[in-house]
């Protein structure tokens, strides 16, 4: 794997770079998509898919979602595709014990792989069982058998990366060391060409982050990933992770040698900040000032889908609009959801259909906005650069200000 930095913004940590893995390349900031194949028995009004069209959902919902989600446009050749599943208590319990459970997980993940893209295979281990059975029982810490099985599952699905199996809510370094050591041994023994991901689940103990970064860097990691577990931002965790990566890799004010480059992906960042306001700040795109290269977003935090609460994603002002507030927003998107339809028409459907339309729009709008961010960073001149562009987004102004204070703090401590 190689990471080539093309340009960076002087006021933020954001950069555009080219990620190359086994001959495939992705220019960033780039949208990452999560691929989901709906169960074949699902009834759907969606016409048969073209071969290059994928279904998308967040990993958290990937095994509970029953409707088919149509992306509706081709995934770019240089996209990073997250092949994810948030594991249930039953699946975690069967790993390393039942060949059936392990094989079923492998085949589910394999079915989500999008050919000719960079597939990031992500069997996610949550803190507790998901809400599909209306319980929230904690999942016991992973055993050595379960860790080994999860590494093997990823090698079997055969993406370019392997993520050390770490459970959401990680609170001790020993558990981390067991998972990383097992991953290193498996990769060295069987597939030396795989890249190990410097993965941080949602953490209970952020004081172990410096040691984790140290061990990841010693293992040769340059591709890092953070799971925000559905939060819009996790400032203390992000500050610490970004600071220690940059410090350990000696990435200061300006990027240096090729070997010092890194790539940062964020899993499960909420699309917008939770709010009862008619317009909430969108938050996935404003992770980019931290130096985040790609994200996978969570569109809906759970509960019953109700049309009046479903929000429209606007990159013109970084606002996330409930339908009642859309009157003053000028629609300027050309995605398959928006082209030729008024807001009223987009919202005239059962809640699940509206949800699918809005998700398709969100993915399209996000990808387009990533392109604009890249342009700004590449322009590299004071007036057209990324930082002044961020100040043109009034609906997220206070969130942007907070992130910029974090970024300032990180940069100040690096000097
Ligand atoms: Zn649109």
Is 391 inside a domain boundary? Answer: no
Whole-number percent of the chain with pLDDT over 90: 56
Residue 258 reports pLDDT greater than 70: no
Q: Tell me the pLDDT band of 360, cut-offs 50, 70 and 90.
A: confident
Please report whether residue 184 resides in a domain.
yes
Is residue 344 assigned to a domain?
A: no
Domain membership of residue 36 (yes or no) is yes
The confidence band for 23, taking pLDDT boundaries of 50, 70 and 90, is confident
Percentage of the chain modeled with pLDDT above 70: 83
Expressed in angstroms and rounded, the spacing between residue 359 Cα and the centre of ligand 1 is 9
β-bridge partners, 235:
none
pLDDT at residue 33 in the model: 64
Contact in structure between 400 and 373 (CB atoms under 8 Å): no
Distance from Cα 357 to the centre of ligand 1, integer Å: 9
Instruction: Name residues whose C-beta falls within 8 Å of residue 307's C-beta, 6 or more positions apart in sequence.
Output: 323, 347, 350, 351, 354
User: What's the pLDDT score for residue 69?
Assistant: 44
Ranking 175-189, 216-230, 240-254 by mean pLDDT, the lowest is 240-254
User: What mean pLDDT is reported for the chain?
Assistant: 84
Mean pLDDT of 85-114: 92
Residues 245/221, Cβ–Cβ less than 8 Å: no
Query: 390 in a domain, yes or no?
Result: no
Bigger pLDDT: 54 vs 371: 371
Query: Tokens 């703090």 identify what position?
Result: 409
162 Cα: distance to centroid of ligand 1 (angstroms):
34
User: Residue 68: pLDDT above 70?
Assistant: no
| Among the ranges given (64-73, 180-189, 373-382), the one the predictor scored with the smallest mean pLDDT | 64-73
pLDDT tens readout for residues 104-136: 999 999 998 888 888 999 999 998 865 555 566
Instruction: For residue 240, report the distance from its CA to the centre of ligand 1, in Å.
Output: 35
Distance in Å, CA 30 to ligand 1 centroid: 18
- Rounded distance from Cα 219 to ligand 1 centre (Å): 42
Would residue 372 count as lying in a domain?
no
pLDDT exceeds 60 at position 351: yes
pLDDT at position 62, please?
Answer: 36
Identify which of 295, 319, 316 has the alpha carbon closest to the alpha carbon of residue 395: 319
* pLDDT on residue 17: 87
The predicted model gives 28-48 an average pLDDT of 43
Residue 5, pLDDT score? 87
Between the CA of 314 and the centroid of ligand 1 the distance, in Å, is 9
Answer whether residue 368 is part of any domain.
no
Query: Is residue 139 one of the residues assigned to a domain?
Result: yes
Distance from residue 358's CA to the centre of ligand 1 (Å): 8
74-100 average pLDDT score: 87
Contact 257, 375 (CB under 8 A): no
The residue that leads in pLDDT, 168 or 299, is 168
Rounded CA-CA distance 361/412 in Å is: 38
pLDDT at residue 303, rounded to an integer: 67
Model pLDDT, residue 231: 87
Q: Which range among 47-56, 238-247, 300-309 shows the weakest confidence by mean pLDDT? A: 47-56
d(CA 343, ligand 1 centre) in Å: 10
Ligand 1 mean position, distance from CA 311 (Å) = 12
366: nearest Cα among 73, 7, 155: 73
The long-range contacts involving 144-148, CB below 8 angstroms and separated by at least 24 positions, are 144/178, 144/182, 145/95, 145/96, 145/97, 146/92, 146/95, 146/96, 147/178, 147/179, 147/182, 148/96, 148/182, 148/186
Q: Which has the higher per-residue pLDDT, 114 or 66?
A: 114
The CATH number given to whatever domain includes residue 182 is 3.20.20
In this prediction, residues 203-230 reach a mean pLDDT of: 95
- Which helix (H) or strand (E) segment is 354 a member of? helix 351-379
Which has the closest alpha carbon to 3: 378, 295, 293, 410? 293
What is the number of domains present in the chain? 1
Q: Which range (4-13, 68-77, 232-241, 350-359) has the least confidence?
A: 68-77
Measured in angstroms, how far is the CA atom of residue 96 from the centroid of ligand 1? 44
- Report how far ligand 1's centroid is from the alpha carbon of 56 (Å): 16
**In terms of C-beta density within 10 A (0-12 exposed, 13-18 middle, 19 or more buried), how is residue 307 classed?**
middle
pTM of the model: 0.89
Question: Which residues, chain by chain, have CB under 5 Å from ion ligand 1?
Answer: 333, 335, 337-338, 361
Q: Which residues contact 247 (CB under 8 A, 6 or more apart)?
A: 413, 414
Rounded to whole angstroms, how far apart are CA atoms 251 and 248?
8
Taking a C-beta distance cutoff of 8 angstroms, is the pair 312, 344 a contact? no
Strand, helix or coil for residue 312:
strand
Q: Is 404 exposed, middle or buried (0-12, 13-18, 19+ CB in 10 A)?
A: middle
Strands (DSSP E) found in 112-169 = 118-124, 161-162
Q: Tokens 């401590």 belong to which residue?
A: 413
Ligand 1 centre from 404 Cα, in Å? 28
Which token pair is 41? 């028995």
Domain ranges, residue 105: 2-41+51-303+401-414
Nearest CA to 169 out of 229, 242, 129, 212 is that of 229
Q: What is the pLDDT of residue 133?
A: 53
Compute, in angstroms, the gap from residue 6 CA to the centroid of ligand 1: 29
């Amino acid at each position: 794997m190689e990471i080539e930095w093309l340009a960076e913004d002087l006021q933020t940590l954001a950069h555009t770079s080219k990620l190359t893995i086994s001959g495939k390349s992705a220019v960033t900031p780039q949208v990452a998509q999560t691929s989901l194949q709906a169960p074949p028995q699902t009834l759907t009004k969606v016409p048969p898919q073209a071969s290059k069209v994928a279904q998308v959902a967040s990993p958290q919902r990937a095994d509970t979602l029953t409707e088919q989600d149509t992306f509706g446009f081709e995934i770019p050749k240089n996209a990073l595709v997250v092949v994810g599943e948030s594991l249930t208590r039953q699946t975690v319990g069967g790993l390393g014990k039942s060949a059936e459970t392990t094989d079923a997980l492998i085949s589910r993940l394999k079915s989500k792989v999008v050919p000719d893209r960079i597939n990031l295979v992500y069997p996610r281990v949550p803190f507790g069982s998901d809400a599909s059975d209306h319980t929230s029982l904690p999942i016991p810490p992973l055993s050595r058998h379960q860790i080994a099985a999860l590494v093997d599952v990823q090698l079997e699905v055969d993406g370019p990366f392997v993520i050390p199996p770490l459970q959401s809510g990680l609170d001790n370094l020993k558990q981390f060391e067991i998972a990383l050591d097992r991953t290193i041994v498996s990769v060295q023994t069987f597939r030396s060409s795989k890249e190990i991901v410097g993965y941080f689940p949602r953490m209970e103990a952020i004081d172990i982050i410096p040691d984790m970064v140290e061990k990841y860097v010693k293992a040769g990691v340059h591709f890092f990933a953070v799971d925000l577990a559905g939060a819009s931002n996790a400032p203390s965790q992000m500050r610490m992770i970004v600071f220690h990566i940059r410090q350990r890799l000696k990435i200061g004010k300006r990027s240096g040698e090729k070997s010092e480059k890194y790539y940062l992906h964020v899993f499960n960042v909420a699309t917008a900040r939770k709010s009862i306001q008619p317009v909430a700040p969108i938050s996935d795109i404003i992770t980019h000032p931290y130096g985040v290269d790609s994200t996978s977003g969570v569109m809906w935090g759970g509960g019953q889908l109700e049309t009046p609460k479903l929000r429209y994603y606007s990159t013109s002002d970084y606002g996330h609009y409930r339908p009642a507030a859309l009157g003053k927003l000028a629609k300027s998107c050309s995605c398959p959801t928006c082209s030729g339809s008024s807001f009223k028409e987009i919202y005239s459907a059962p809640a699940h259909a509206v949800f699918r339309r809005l998700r398709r729009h969100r993915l399209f709008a996000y990808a387009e906005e990533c392109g604009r961010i890249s342009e700004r960073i590449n322009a590299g001149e004071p007036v057209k650069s990324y930082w002044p562009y961020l100040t043109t987004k009034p609906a997220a102004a206070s969130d942007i200000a907070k992130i910029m204070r974090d970024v300032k703090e990180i940069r100040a401590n690096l000097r």
